[in-house]
Amino acid sequence: MLPVASACLAKISRLFDLDCQPAQVAVALGRLGEARPGLRLPGSVDTFEQGVRAILGQLVSVAMAARLTAKVARRYGETLPDAPDYVCFPGPETLALADPLALKALGMPRRRAEALIHLAQATLVGKLALTAPTDIEQSVKHLQTFPGIGRWTANYFALRGWQAKDIFLPDDYLIKQRFAGMTAAQIRQYAERWKPWRSYALLHIWYTHGWQPSMDSEIAGIQ
């Protein structure tokens, strides 16, 4: 294990957000974070896999996204010799060569299948950052130049794949429910109060059933 120990520890740290400073986050979030103090960002150990999951999560329920991901893993992944019930998630070198019609047959639109293949190809040539870039905002814009990746997908990938600390998703279905009656611009403005920890605010809002924002005059004037 020694040759890979440092890499494994770094992945574990990203997966569980071990570098988080809960006290600093709590100050920024105020009452929003009181119900779940110390809540951390769920990361990932494989950035490319998280990109695949972000694409498969477009416009479907969490349960459906999980089923699609499992189908992709079973179709293209490799089983472990000593644990045949477990499957290694397919890497970009495998999905880059996938047939879009074969992916479509798993239950996704062809455009989404083509987006997965392009993501894999981009990863192989270094166009997808596998570690958190210095300029998250510009990198999110770059992701949106990929076929089949819009604003929600790019930001969700940044949240989970890069574990970006200051991401908010005004276009997310559940967020729009929580901010009922508000425009995307109003939601973005409202979330400014939680900078630079908007990702944590996003999680708290997701997990807090019945949470509602307080509309103030500053927000009301934004269309």
**Cα–Cα distance, 63 to 99 (Å, whole number):** 25
| The two three-digit tokens of residue 43, written as one number | 């990361």
Measured in degrees and rounded to the nearest 5, phi and psi for residue 173 equal -60, -50
Phi-psi region of 107 (alpha: psi -120 to 50; beta: other; left: phi over 0): left
**Cα–Cα distance, 116 to 218 (Å, whole number):** 41
Secondary structure (3-state) at 152 = helix
Catalytic center residues: 172
| The two three-digit tokens of residue 104, written as one number | 């479509």
DSSP letter for 192, please.
G
Nearest 5°: the CA angle 18, 26, 53 is 50
| The two three-digit tokens of residue 47, written as one number | 């950035």
77 to 48, 66, 89: CA distances (angstroms): 14, 15, 5
Beta strands in 11-170 (DSSP E): 78-80, 83-88
In 10 A of CB 43, how many CB atoms? 20
**Cα–Cα distance, 91 to 94 (Å, whole number):** 6
